[in-house]
Structure 1
Amino acid sequence: MRGGRVEPAMRRGSKLAAAGGSLVALTLLASSVAAPAPMPSGGGSATLSMVPVSLAYFDSCADALTELRAAASAAVGPYGFAGEAMLFGDRAALSAESSARTFADAQGKSAGPAPGAQHSTTNNHEAGVDEPDLVKTDGRRIVTATNGVLRVVDPVNRRLIGKLDLTDGREELRWAEHPLLLLGDRALVLAEDTLGPADAFRSVRRVGATRLLLVDLAGAPRLLGTYRIQGSTVDARLTGDTARVVVRASARLDFPFDVKGSDRVRAEHNRKVIARAGIEAWLPEYEWTAGSERHTGRVGCDRLSRPKRMSASSTLTVLSFDLTADRLGDGDPVGVVADADTVYGTATSLYLAGQRPMPMTLTPRGRPSPDDQVTEIYQFDTGTPGRPRFLAAGSVPGWLINQYALSEWDGHLRVATTTGDLWGEGRTSESAVRVLRREGAALAPTGMVGGLGRGERIYSVRYLGPVAYVVTFRQTDPLYSLDLADPTAPRVTGELKITGYSAYLHPLPDARLLGVGQEADREGRTEGVQVSLFDVRDPARPTRLDQWHLPRAWSRAEHDPHAFLYWPDTGLLAIPVDDGVRLLRVSGDTISEIGEVTHPAVRQDDGRSTWSPPVRRSLVIGDVLWTVSEAGLRATDPTTAQSLHWIAAT
């Protein structure tokens, strides 16, 4: 392994695994990766570098507590941990809104034979991996989860055939999002919860929790079991029959608000809190139910790993559930003392990526220096059912925009990041695409191309096999085309400068690319939603064929590509614009508008006022377009935008 060595702890963990022990996944391997010498950047000024990352497991709970206290004490400041949104508890403790992200598949069709009519599916980032969304269909039914209620709709007879309250009688949870995964007659619903001291988890005053519900859809929707664990949902993926849910929990350290004195005094008081904390501050509690059964537990010390450098401010837990079973069980949890806000999955790998915790002392302007901008990445093997097995760790300089900045292809991981001053005044930012390859337990760099969009930041990325497209923006929009066929020498092949930007890129047949974003003037001031059709057949000369622009409007698809629908059979494009959905048609080199779909206003609880919930999702079943909002579902003729039927969310 280049520049690395296997530590004794790693060898001990491997022996335990071979003997059938429980130390698999995160806890098996450790690597210490030395940064290699700089290599040519393939046309950019950034250097090819990798910040050392290592993973090891704790030998005992006592050792774990000693190391966690030491790391937390070194990282804590007068107001808690740097980068934390709260001084105690979890990020989700004051919010019941799910952070699960959802996205849409490049061609808009199901990957395999459909049980029902031909239909669109969740347009996942990668084939063979399903991602949670607010609506799912298998062609014979539509399953939605809005306003805290799961509803099942028969698309043929256009009627509601079942519903199930997901809130457990707690009205505040109706405001939470409930994305779901669908496998046959099973639905796994993800939700955020907010637990107080009256709940089973009593270790802190207030703690956020992830709540999972397993629902049987064979007849009337029926709850089979639940699972709750301390922490907020980062994201989830379904490969085969196994759903893997990633949860992030802040260290449950009750830092006081009312300490008098200087910052030094406050920081010292926080260190005393850490010194008194038990191991339970870092090991999340969970409970699961199946019918009348109820079980509780806590992630074990033997399931917890750590990177060599850690702040001990948060813990990531990966849970695995067999969706063909009639219960969720304990989730077979494994954890790592790290942070992540991005999950990227393929049919055989799961990647967790996130910013390395910032130091308490920043630059004179209170901003991180380029050396502090590091994204850490952990790779797991998910090619077989059950608990994932840790494979490798690595890091790259800079910030990820979302999961689309990551792509695994031909044994390599491509990562697009922006480094430098992202806040604008210094205009020192630039972006790069780095290529990593697994060598032993390390994700080691093999090549990079840098110098993209100097003074700008990345707004969107799309990888298509050996090529990639990157949009950066500040005042104008360079669309870069990149050749990544040689992982040791990636290079820029073309660049297109236009006004505005694309925040989401979607591949079309015949080497065309759709971009959804904002038009802007020459000074970079946005002027309304735009859809751009690009011709990328010539890598050296990407061109824009057509543009649709609506002034002073915005689209949810700019930040949530799950809201985007492209149906290749007819060239239908459905994108949310403001509170409705605009239907466009892509034909040849042109974009034309068909019409708009809106949903009726909903009367408020006071019985007098109304509000118009935005249309959140669109899907196609047969020759009918269905749109979903909190108000209900509308069936529409996609060729004319004429309404066919309305189903209210009663």
Structure 2
Amino acid sequence: MRRGTKFATAGGSLVALALLAGSMAVSQPPPTGPDNAETPMVPVGLVAFDSCADALTELRAAATASVGPYGLAEDWGLKAAAIGGAESMARTFAGAPGDAAGQDAGTDYSTTNNHEAGADEPDLVKTDGRRIVTVTGGVLRVVDPVSRRVTGRLDLADGREELRWQEHRLLLLGDHALVLGEDPPRPADALRSIRRPGGTRLLLIDLAGRPLVLGTYRIQGSTVDARLTGDTARVVVRAPARLEFPLASEGTDQVRTERNRKVIARAGVEAWLPEYEWTAGPERHTGRVGCDRLSRPDRMTGAATLTVLSFDLTSDRLGDGDPVAVAADADTVYGTATSLYLAGQRPTPITGLPRWRPSPAEPITDIYQFDTAAPGRPRFLGTGSVPGRLINQYALSEWAGHLRVATTSGEFRDDGSTSESAVRVLRHDDGALVPVGMVGGLGRGERIYSVRYLGPVAYVVTFRQTDPLYALNLADPAAPRVTGELKITGYSAYLHPLPGERLLGVGQEADRQGRTKGVQVSLFDVRDPGQPDRLDQWHLPGGWSHAEHDPHAFLYRPDTGLVALPVDAGVRLLRVSDDTISEIGEVTHPAGNDSGRRQWGQPVRRSLVVGDVLWTVSEAGLRATDPASARSLAWIAAT
């Protein structure tokens, strides 16, 4: 018997407003015929629980049905985008070809290389032109770009060495910074009645004078990602169900599974509801996400809970985060100025297969959409599903009232015989993301390496031995189509739009057998969607760029054509003209010694521009450089 209340809209009562109304679309396998027509996905409801007792009953039932001898049907393929988990979170902007929105045209400083204008993303360094803020070695530093000296310093490690080398990311609004990190759990002590939760650790910092911690927030689970729209920061946290299964060392698979089911039968609802605490000065508050804030899709495994927290960064306190939770899983966050999407591969039951072997089931990606146009707690809009796997958030794009999704389906094997990719167009309709069109058959035997949507046009790179760059026309949502294709060796793992209807691709060169040969930057002419062409190429044999997996590391300035690209431990400065790529020089940071007295360079992680000065950031410090000549102007050590 199905319990709970099914809502048709997200209005009405507190529960309906907060949680969650709408429906979910169940996908069908990709088509095999030539007409690209898919069997319509059937919408089903998203359910808010009537009580904690009902929530516990259904969560136990879902977990019992999906548990196997090795534990819950957790997504062994999901990579929760914890702090620094950049591979699943590529970023930059998506606008019309030649649009410089988000690329700081007309400003005298660069901002984070965000995916969408109006949705700022956390990064290792932030600047507002007046100051540069970064956290390295557990210490927040504020640098004055004019005097080129440190004007503020704050130790965030709280005396804990395990936090000293943790990677932190930042959101910056006015004189406030929100620092995102991870926090190992602490045991209960004589002053605390509960075990202090571990997982996500947030700090609100006042930068008006000497940097000062205004408040903290801790919640069980790992940070997937965050977005800042207007004054509201929304942080997405993924918390696996806290069920301690015995080691699977004795007995048959059936015996181990039954043993795990007994653990689930004894669990309380707190195993699925994250615990949190927040502070403001001397105040300390604790709580747990309430059952009235929890909802579930029609199909769930009981393996994890997603929580969306909302914080007003103009306030001097974080508060309780006004949480909204879904009994679901995701590893990808895509945000616009008005929407937030959570997406992830649907977990499949683990039976007798070893954990390292892929499931034979066809992968399905579930997507949850929230309305973030208004300040504060987001309003749930709807959910849907598509066959296949996402490469990262760039596989998603909201445009003209539709969501475009690029996925790879089938098993990607050495012989490349069963995989193919597709782009599907979904429309929000009464709480469901329903399909309206698709184009498939992309890169048969290959998988997607990068996607870029530019208004009604999309570019998709697939690869196994050669790199087909597909150009797609998505102007008619019901009839998307391929308009052109360019085959070259190697691949682009990141595509960046340039003025003049050009694309810059960052990836790897490869031979005709698909063996990579070092980092390459390709300049594409896409003025004719039927005949994309490569105008020029820069290649460094044996090199690798962090921007291949984390485009936050990529910097482009349309006013000068400057490209700052991390390559190995340094940054290569390139200049892109109308049809050529030239190298300016290289920026490196001081080398240190390991225990064997071998020289090693601190890898440069980020680049930014303030005025006419290029700043590069590593764990060792910051360097100011003349971007026209690569000449060093100043060095600020991270002491």
Q: SS of 1:271's equivalent?
A: helix
Deviation, structure 1 residue 98: 5.8
* 1:303-329 superposed Cα distances (whole Å, 9 cap, x missing partner): 000011110000000000000000000
Q: In the alignment, which of 337, 348, 354 is matched to residue 338 of structure 2?
A: 348
* Cα 1:29–1:459 shift into 2, 3 Å: same
Checking the alignment, whether the CA contact within 8 Å between 1:108 and 1:566 is kept in structure 2 is no
Q: AA paired with 1:153?
A: V
* Cα 1:11–1:639 shift into 2, 3 Å: closer
Distance 2:127 2:590 in 1: 23
1:443 corresponds in structure 2 to: 433
Q: SS of 1:270's equivalent?
A: helix
**Structural mapping, 1:546-561, within 5 Å:** 546-561=536-551
1:531 corresponds in structure 2 to: 521
Q: AA paired with 1:18?
A: G
Checking the alignment, whether the CA contact within 8 Å between 1:96 and 1:194 is kept in structure 2 is no
Deviation, structure 1 residue 9: 1.9
Deviation, structure 1 residue 169: 1.1
2:62 corresponds in structure 1 to: 71
User: Are residue 267 (structure 1) and residue 261 (structure 2) matched?
Assistant: no
* Cα 1:308–1:362 shift into 2, 3 Å: farther
Deviation, structure 1 residue 443: 0.2
**Structural mapping, 1:359-508, within 5 Å:** 359-361=349-351, 366-369=357-360, 372-425=362-415, 427-508=417-498
Q: In the alignment, which of 606, 612, 618 is matched to residue 623 of structure 1?
A: 612
User: Are residue 305 (structure 1) and residue 299 (structure 2) matched?
Assistant: no
Distance 2:43 2:165 in 1: 42
User: Are residue 287 (structure 1) and residue 280 (structure 2) matched?
Assistant: no
TM-score by length of 2: 0.93
Distance 1:112 1:585 in 2: 17
User: Are residue 24 (structure 1) and residue 24 (structure 2) matched?
Assistant: no
Distance 1:96 1:381 in 2: 24
> Gapped runs of 5+ residues in structure 2?
none
Q: AA paired with 2:218?
A: R
Distance 2:421 2:302 in 1: 29
How many percent identity over aligned positions?
72
Q: SS of 1:79's equivalent?
A: coil
* Cα 1:476–1:55 shift into 2, 3 Å: same
Q: AA paired with 1:479?
A: L
Higher relative contact order (CA 8 A, sep 6+): 2
Distance 2:387 2:30 in 1: 13
* Cα 1:244–1:278 shift into 2, 3 Å: same
**More displaced, 190-199 or 639-648?**
190-199
1:173 corresponds in structure 2 to: 163
Deviation, structure 1 residue 113: 10
Deviation, structure 1 residue 602: 3.4
Deviation, structure 1 residue 588: 1.3
1:9 corresponds in structure 2 to: 5
* Cα 1:638–1:33 shift into 2, 3 Å: closer
Q: AA paired with 1:24?
A: L
Q: SS of 1:118's equivalent?
A: coil
Deviation, structure 1 residue 54: 3.5
**Structural mapping, 1:87-106, within 5 Å:** 101=89, 103-105=91-93
* 1:374-430 superposed Cα distances (whole Å, 9 cap, x missing partner): 000000000000000000100000000000000000000000000001243452100
1:4 corresponds in structure 2 to: none
1:238 corresponds in structure 2 to: 228
* Cα 1:551–1:435 shift into 2, 3 Å: same
Deviation, structure 1 residue 593: 0.4
Deviation, structure 1 residue 358: 1.3
Deviation, structure 1 residue 30: 3.8
Distance 1:516 1:181 in 2: 26
Deviation, structure 1 residue 83: 3.9
* Cα 1:326–1:646 shift into 2, 3 Å: same
Q: In the alignment, which of 53, 56, 67 is matched to residue 62 of structure 1?
A: 53
* Cα 1:105–1:38 shift into 2, 3 Å: closer
* 1:350-392 superposed Cα distances (whole Å, 9 cap, x missing partner): 00000111122489994333x5310000000000000000001
Checking the alignment, whether the CA contact within 8 Å between 2:73 and 2:301 is kept in structure 1 is no
User: Are residue 81 (structure 1) and residue 75 (structure 2) matched?
Assistant: no
Q: AA paired with 2:17?
A: V
* Cα 1:30–1:56 shift into 2, 3 Å: farther
Distance 1:415 1:223 in 2: 40
* Cα 1:404–1:565 shift into 2, 3 Å: same
> Gapped runs of 5+ residues in structure 1?
1-6
Q: SS of 2:64's equivalent?
A: helix
* Cα 1:124–1:423 shift into 2, 3 Å: same
Q: AA paired with 1:584?
A: L
Deviation, structure 1 residue 197: 3.0
Q: In the alignment, which of 499, 504, 507 is matched to residue 514 of structure 1?
A: 504
Distance 1:196 1:399 in 2: 36
1:648 corresponds in structure 2 to: 637
1:133 corresponds in structure 2 to: 123
Checking the alignment, whether the CA contact within 8 Å between 1:10 and 1:29 is kept in structure 2 is yes
Distance 1:241 1:113 in 2: 23
Q: AA paired with 2:23?
A: S
Checking the alignment, whether the CA contact within 8 Å between 1:601 and 1:612 is kept in structure 2 is yes
Checking the alignment, whether the CA contact within 8 Å between 1:459 and 1:501 is kept in structure 2 is yes
Checking the alignment, whether the CA contact within 8 Å between 2:36 and 2:440 is kept in structure 1 is yes
Deviation, structure 1 residue 13: 8.2
Root-mean-square deviation over aligned CA pairs: 2.9
